Structure 1
């Protein structure tokens, strides 16, 4: 660090950032001394893989000689979430502190120039309260709402807690005694507000460093309610593999690719620390192009864009890299004290009582019932006609007979795997009690089940035995077939299909299974044309 010039330090501090506010201010400070930077995190939900993105930049700051303050913002978490009492928030603050230390250690980052500060240690003092009142006297409701527009939930009648949140984040800069605050580009309005309001109440203006926003594993479909779009920092290796296998990674698509974004914003920067030449390896058989070692992200992105790197090969390489990063974190928490802290901070939910039987002819639509295969209405169906989607050449729009005159339109993203002629007048397996929804602009009334290889290179529709008709049932030993007249329509928010389908698989003999139970019909089991082992989606 001592050998770096001020310019080299600034370049390291600013590399990969989307925006810097106060460049001249930072350069002026670096000409005289090292920079003091703060990054804040509110201890609410469990930190996930996305935390490696700010951690990677903190590694850059430390390499540039910066003094880093990590604000574990327990008061902010209480104001922002309001779902947990302060006692629970306190346990989560301890959990976050341990997890951040473990994460930086897993990255090989020395932490001597890093300190942790609990928000309540100074935000509840008389001095801070008086400064906060002074700030409030200079802030309009309009400015407070505008400042928090990207990070605080916007409603017609906002809670006062959401309005004071941005002001407190600005005030923290003064009470932590820093030169700059680091955060995501989504906090830009808070940062601009801070630059305006602090001088108005007698404090100096700070600089602001902003990271780009990185897509999640599900790309444009990321959902905070879907656990498969996030990987916990203590996730088991097999879960990492499973979630990466399901992650959105469309062939040739580099714009909405969370896996490539992780390679760009985490793996390459980490592997270039301390002047090292970064490398990222794609390992594959010679018949698929052989092994390739990339020393620049741009070369990898270009090869993926030109379809010289298959999504399956990229997923495998990133899975291995992530598990390598997570291994020291798992080891850090592998003791009784930290296992207890984890349980105290995030108690295992108590099972909900089973719903009492409802005597009614109306569909039972609730998520308290057992989540198993009995919740799905899976039938033999027949595709009467399939066409290429007008707006998406990778999808089919099919007219499907689900039995008994029940004709539905179904959209399926199978056109890049299955020839159009193979979709005509054929038997399939369809999930028929999902709530209809628009998919690529077309209302889709069912889901066609398909099997895929581990790397998604082969995808085939499930194949019911010959001699069946549309409407014939798919049965599972030990589970009663639901009465279709009262079958619930599954609300997508409850993720019933997603949870049940985690136990779908293909046997080594090519038979479709739920756990170890066959997809059975009166004519025999449901099979796959050529796939032996794999998953069903």
Structure 2
């Protein structure tokens, strides 16, 4: 490429460039050095592909690109990440961003990966921080971080230091330009103002637009409904896209359309992925496409991007890293009975409160008063004898398939009469969304009635004696019970287990468990 072609690729789809003349001069003699940094706080989501597609552009333009995992910045950003989690989150970011780049065909050996604390704790850097503080006013520091650092009425000093460190990174990473979102513009102009006062060169700045989220506002790690997580299943992608804001004629607040413009189109046009043209893409470019068609097309391409990342994170060590870096936030409600049994001050909405056990169906018949119901006699390993369980599976699962089979039963729901017969437990099944396909969960070979089924990481809790209907414990836990794309039963991504191994399904995937 000649310099003009390289500059075109560098600038493509950016919202703003500060210091373009510097880039033009550099390109006359050599390639541009660019750095992109990300503070390791919340989980990266699909909007990160906007930055990844630009990194692909930079590399195609011959740029030397450094990716900074800004762990110290993450600590300085008020109330976002405790220090003890940062090391784990840096490892997560590194693994997931490398997986993202690989999924769009970027060769990792062309990139340089750096952690902030690898150089930001050095004597030279620290002295420059002090030099910076002797020049910067509180007003300028606060203004610079207004769009990036969490704003509070009485800010911590750490948040005021954040912009200065990001400015110094340009010098210590020896870049010609810093790349980031347009929300960082005030930090970029802050760097242009103060670095020369320290005797350092003023850099160019490349700014991406902020891509709207699925709800029409900025896509954010802290807004669950606004984003698609990189590890979301195909079913979760479908569900979130279905609910996404995608108003006909609205091209400003349309997160689905923005994702096409800034990720799918650039990757397809530059050959980073092997996608062909489709009728839907032709119609998008002609501005004549129904929102439903757009969502369906984006779903296909987005899953193509996410599938390699999902597979990478099926590795046991990365599953463990994910759960450690982003531990499940436990939901709570007022109450004391179960909390006292578990040594806590409040009832926690955790899966250990569910009395899930292996049970064996020793006999089964059709309910005499309801064609859709089976009446099952189930051995749950109790001294009091078997329980009666009623399941609405007639017409969905053959009776002979259930007879003498082992399954997973929820045993501490309040008993309820169904057409005159009391049901004393519930058979747990995976149900394919939108289809009449239901499958009972399968237990490991060699399992015996009465063995406890638990969620990995929640083995030690004591189940409630009975789940009180008014507390809605089951109703709050059930939406997070799903079968993943590996046929594994999970709760919030954590495996359902017995002492002999994983609880699975034989055929149903990416479906809720009820």
CA 1:143/1:367 → structure 2, altered by over 3 Å: closer, same or farther?
farther
Q: Residue in 2 aligned with 1:227?
A: 224
The answer as to whether partners of 1:279 and 1:293 remain within 8 angstroms in 2 is: no
2:290 to 290, 310, 313: 310
CA-CA distance at 1:124 after TM superposition: 0.6
1:339 to 307, 319, 324: 319
The answer as to whether partners of 2:39 and 2:71 remain within 8 angstroms in 1 is: yes
Residue 294 in structure 1 maps to residue 315 in structure 2: no
Q: How does 1:478-497 map to 2 (within 5 A)?
A: none
What TM-score comes out, normalization by structure 2 length? 0.64
Q: How does 1:355-504 map to 2 (within 5 A)?
A: 355-356=335-336
- Return the alpha-carbon distance in structure 2 between the equivalents of residues 479 and 338 of structure 1: 34
- Farther off after superposition, 129-138 or 225-234: 225-234
Q: Residue in 2 aligned with 1:202?
A: 199
CA-CA distance at 1:334 after TM superposition: 2.1
CA 1:350/1:220 → structure 2, altered by over 3 Å: closer, same or farther?
closer
Q: Residue in 2 aligned with 1:259?
A: 256
Q: How does 1:505-524 map to 2 (within 5 A)?
A: none
Q: Residue in 1 aligned with 2:491?
A: none
Q: Residue in 1 aligned with 2:138?
A: 141
- Return the alpha-carbon distance in structure 2 between the equivalents of residues 352 and 63 of structure 1: 50
Give the match's secondary structure for 2:119. helix
CA-CA distance at 1:343 after TM superposition: 2.0
Structure 2 alignment gaps of length 5 or more? 338-345, 352-432, 435-465, 482-514
CA 1:133/1:355 → structure 2, altered by over 3 Å: closer, same or farther?
same
Post-superposition Cα deviations, 1:173-205, rounded to whole Å, max 9, x if no partner, equal 001111100000111011011011000111011
The answer as to whether partners of 2:69 and 2:94 remain within 8 angstroms in 1 is: yes
Post-superposition Cα deviations, 1:110-166, rounded to whole Å, max 9, x if no partner, equal 222211100001111111000111111111111111111111233332110111100
Q: Residue in 2 aligned with 1:170?
A: 167
CA 1:499/1:126 → structure 2, altered by over 3 Å: closer, same or farther?
same
2:149 to 147, 152, 155: 152
CA-CA distance at 1:83 after TM superposition: 4.9
Q: Residue in 1 aligned with 2:7?
A: 10
Q: What RMSD, in angstroms, separates the aligned Cα atoms of the two structures?
A: 3.3
The answer as to whether partners of 2:42 and 2:221 remain within 8 angstroms in 1 is: no
Give the match's secondary structure for 1:69. strand
Q: Residue in 2 aligned with 1:527?
A: none
- Return the alpha-carbon distance in structure 1 between the equivalents of residues 475 and 254 of structure 2: 24
- Return the alpha-carbon distance in structure 2 between the equivalents of residues 66 and 343 of structure 1: 35
Q: Residue in 1 aligned with 2:457?
A: none
CA-CA distance at 1:225 after TM superposition: 4.7
The answer as to whether partners of 2:214 and 2:244 remain within 8 angstroms in 1 is: yes
The answer as to whether partners of 1:170 and 1:194 remain within 8 angstroms in 2 is: yes
- Return the alpha-carbon distance in structure 2 between the equivalents of residues 75 and 224 of structure 1: 19
CA 1:275/1:352 → structure 2, altered by over 3 Å: closer, same or farther?
closer
Post-superposition Cα deviations, 1:431-457, rounded to whole Å, max 9, x if no partner, equal xxxxxxxxxxxxxxxxxxxxxx98xxx
- Return the alpha-carbon distance in structure 2 between the equivalents of residues 249 and 168 of structure 1: 38
CA-CA distance at 1:51 after TM superposition: 0.5
CA-CA distance at 1:94 after TM superposition: 0.9
The answer as to whether partners of 2:132 and 2:164 remain within 8 angstroms in 1 is: yes
- Farther off after superposition, 175-184 or 248-257: 248-257
CA 1:324/1:5 → structure 2, altered by over 3 Å: closer, same or farther?
same
CA 1:152/1:499 → structure 2, altered by over 3 Å: closer, same or farther?
farther
CA-CA distance at 1:367 after TM superposition: 10
Residue 324 in structure 1 maps to residue 322 in structure 2: no
CA 1:260/1:130 → structure 2, altered by over 3 Å: closer, same or farther?
same
- Return the alpha-carbon distance in structure 2 between the equivalents of residues 179 and 85 of structure 1: 32
The answer as to whether partners of 2:247 and 2:291 remain within 8 angstroms in 1 is: yes
Q: How does 1:346-357 map to 2 (within 5 A)?
A: 346-349=326-329, 352=332, 355-356=335-336
CA 1:174/1:97 → structure 2, altered by over 3 Å: closer, same or farther?
same
CA-CA distance at 1:235 after TM superposition: 1.1
- Return the alpha-carbon distance in structure 1 between the equivalents of residues 36 and 251 of structure 2: 29
The aligned length equals 362
The answer as to whether partners of 1:44 and 1:92 remain within 8 angstroms in 2 is: yes
CA 1:259/1:39 → structure 2, altered by over 3 Å: closer, same or farther?
same
The answer as to whether partners of 1:36 and 1:180 remain within 8 angstroms in 2 is: yes
Q: Residue in 2 aligned with 1:461?
A: none
CA-CA distance at 1:497 after TM superposition: 11
CA-CA distance at 1:345 after TM superposition: 1.4
- Return the alpha-carbon distance in structure 2 between the equivalents of residues 93 and 165 of structure 1: 18
Q: Residue in 2 aligned with 1:183?
A: 180
Give the match's secondary structure for 2:152. coil
Structure 1 alignment gaps of length 5 or more? 282-291, 304-308, 358-365, 372-452, 455-477, 489-495, 504-537
The answer as to whether partners of 2:34 and 2:178 remain within 8 angstroms in 1 is: yes
